[in-house]
């Protein structure tokens, strides 16, 4: 059963000599471990590095001497790298790599936290986890929109525009009606509107899908920017003061230490986003709709000869993608901020990167989005504790990772075969 997005193709294995991909990654990890042990170990101070399980300095905390921690975690990274280099069984690869990367981050944090000035040398884990999810949320919605589109063979570069239109119409109609639910529906319709344009031009008129996506992004920026200046700026009271979804505490679950306060005291969008990942993942790989969607994305002619209506399915998926992205846009304006011009600020493109990094699978996209969100959150945190590392450098990290992923260095990245190719009958 193909539960993975990219089944490992059993082509005749090529004899690559000693330097297999796993060994190359092992070597890189080994170098990182060396860096962590030597550099982070030397730079860390003997102060305690505190990781508190709350939002403040007090309360239960995990503590470790900075130098000891940096070196200890660095050595684990080193060992993981060495293990990969020596060669581990294939099924352990991901686990060992995960451990190696995690300990590298921990080593880094031990250095940073212990080197922070007195009174700020602690890291509130609840804040970090929650921040990670909040920052990842638009990426999750955006990447899911990408999954729905691209699995059926339509490239969705317009995620940015769908998010923006969703945020805008959510704010506008939420404000006018005074109801969050009306805002939510309007946001979905706004996203679907951009999607409909994409669908009509890409599927009906065979316009290049990437070009069309970019044009739609510009259109969304233009339209929302214009209306923002004409309506919202002149009468913010009326047009840009949407009500917001409050945080809902989930009984029992919200009492779990660390995860409870971070994850189960969130708003509708957080729950909806996580639920959608699960639902779309199951639907894609276990249902008739999913089978047909994937077949249309891989080999539309084959699907057509079996009586699957390729064009109708693509229309439906692209519009569904718009609905999802529109709701993602509303997670800004109906929960966090008032609408401002171009407020998505490129998140749609990072969502696209998360989609590719996550190999066109909903759960993969979730993990990628969380990784990007974490890097973002870390940059903010390090700025706050006055780290010596420029925060721009950290903010760069997600993009660097994406380039490596797209270049195929992190496993085989294979898009749906018919992605971006219009289907012409006959």
Residues that bind other proteins (CB under 8 A): 1-2, 7, 9-12, 14-15, 283, 286-292, 294-295, 298-299, 301-309, 417, 425-426
Please state the φ and ψ torsions of residue 15, each to the nearest 5 degrees: -80, 105
Alpha carbon distances (Å) from 187 to 10, 134, 219: 44, 19, 16
**What minimum distance in Å lies between the beta carbon of 95 and other proteins?**
25
Q: Which residues pair with 52 in a beta bridge?
A: 61, 124
Supply the Cα-derived Rg of the chain in whole angstroms: 23
**Nearest to other proteins of 14, 86 (CB atom):** 14
**Nearest to other proteins of 219, 283 (CB atom):** 283
**What minimum distance in Å lies between the beta carbon of 284 and other proteins?**
11
3-state DSSP assignment of residue 50: strand
**What minimum distance in Å lies between the beta carbon of 378 and other proteins?**
36
3-state DSSP assignment of residue 422: coil
Pairing mode, strands 122-124 and 61-65 = unpaired
Task: Give the number of other CB atoms < 10 A from CB of residue 45.
Answer: 17
**What minimum distance in Å lies between the beta carbon of 157 and other proteins?**
24
Sign of the alpha-carbon torsion through 21, 26, 32, 34: negative
Under a CB-based contact definition with an 8 Å cutoff, are residues 398 and 371 in contact?
yes
**What minimum distance in Å lies between the beta carbon of 10 and other proteins?**
5
Q: How many CA atoms lie within 13 A of 175 on its CB side?
A: 20
**What minimum distance in Å lies between the beta carbon of 325 and other proteins?**
23
**Nearest to other proteins of 305, 392 (CB atom):** 305
Q: Which two tokens stand for residue 311?
A: 């064009």
**What minimum distance in Å lies between the beta carbon of 11 and other proteins?**
5
**What minimum distance in Å lies between the beta carbon of 413 and other proteins?**
13
Q: In the block, which residue shows the tokens 């969100």?
A: 373
Under a CB-based contact definition with an 8 Å cutoff, are residues 328 and 267 in contact?
no
3-state DSSP assignment of residue 8: coil
d(CA 137, CA 12): 40
**What minimum distance in Å lies between the beta carbon of 295 and other proteins?**
5
Task: Give the number of other CB atoms < 10 A from CB of residue 101.
Answer: 15
Under a CB-based contact definition with an 8 Å cutoff, are residues 267 and 137 in contact?
no
Under a CB-based contact definition with an 8 Å cutoff, are residues 293 and 284 in contact?
yes
**What minimum distance in Å lies between the beta carbon of 365 and other proteins?**
19
**Nearest to other proteins of 153, 261 (CB atom):** 153
**Nearest to other proteins of 7, 257 (CB atom):** 7
**Long-range pairs for 247-254 at CB < 8 Å and ≥24 separation?**
none
Task: Give the number of other CB atoms < 10 A from CB of residue 291.
Answer: 15
3-state DSSP assignment of residue 123: strand
**What minimum distance in Å lies between the beta carbon of 298 and other proteins?**
5
Q: Which two tokens stand for residue 172?
A: 């506008």
3-state DSSP assignment of residue 261: helix
**Nearest to other proteins of 284, 325 (CB atom):** 284
Q: In the block, which residue shows the tokens 């509303």?
A: 330
């Amino acid at each position: 059963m193909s539960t993975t997005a990219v089944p490992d193709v059993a082509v005749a294995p090529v004899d690559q000599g000693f330097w297999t991909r796993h060994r190359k990654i092992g070597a890189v990890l080994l170098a990182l471990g060396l860096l962590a042990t030597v550099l982070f170990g030397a730079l860390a101070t003997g102060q305690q590095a505190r990781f508190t399980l709350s939002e403040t300095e007090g309360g239960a905390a995990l503590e470790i001497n900075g130098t000891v921690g940096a070196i200890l975690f660095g050595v684990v990274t080193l060992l993981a790298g060495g293990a990969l280099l020596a060669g581990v069984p294939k099924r352990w690869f991901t686990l060992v790599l995960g451990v190696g990367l995690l300990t590298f981050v921990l080593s880094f944090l031990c250095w940073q936290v212990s080197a922070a000035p007195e009174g700020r040398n602690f890291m509130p884990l609840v804040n970090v986890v929650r921040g990670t999810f909040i920052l990842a949320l638009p990426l999750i919605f955006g990447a899911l929109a990408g999954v729905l589109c691209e699995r059926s063979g339509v490239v969705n570069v317009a995620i940015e525009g769908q998010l923006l239109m969703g945020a805008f119409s959510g704010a506008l109609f939420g404000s006018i009606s005074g109801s969050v639910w009306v805002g939510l529906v309007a946001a979905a319709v706004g996203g679907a509107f951009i999607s409909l344009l994409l669908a009509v031009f890409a599927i009906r008129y065979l316009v290049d899908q990437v070009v069309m996506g970019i044009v739609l992004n510009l259109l969304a920026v233009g339209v929302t920017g214009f209306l923002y200046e004409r309506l919202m700026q002149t009468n913010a009271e009326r047009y840009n003061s949407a009500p917001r979804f409050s945080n809902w505490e989930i009984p029992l679950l919200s009492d779990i230490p660390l995860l409870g306060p971070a994850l189960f005291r969130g708003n509708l969008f957080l729950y909806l986003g996580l639920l959608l990942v699960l639902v779309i993942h199951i639907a894609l790989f276990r249902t008739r709709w999913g089978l047909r969607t994937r077949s249309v994305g891989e080999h539309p002619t084959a699907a057509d000869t079996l009586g699957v209506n390729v064009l109708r399915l693509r229309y439906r998926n692209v519009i569904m993608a718009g609905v999802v992205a529109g709701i993602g846009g509303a997670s800004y304006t109906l929960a966090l901020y008032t609408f401002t011009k171009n407020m998505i600020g490129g998140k749609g493109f990072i969502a696209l990167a998360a989609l590719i990094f996550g190999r066109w699978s909903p759960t993969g996209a979730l993990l990628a989005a969380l990784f990007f969100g974490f890097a973002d959150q870390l940059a903010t945190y390090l700025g706050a504790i006055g780290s010596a590392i420029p925060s721009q450098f950290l903010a760069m990290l997600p993009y660097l990772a994406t380039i490596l992923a797209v270049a195929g260095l992190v496993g085989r990245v294979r898009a749906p075969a018919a992605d971006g190719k219009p289907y012409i009958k006959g």
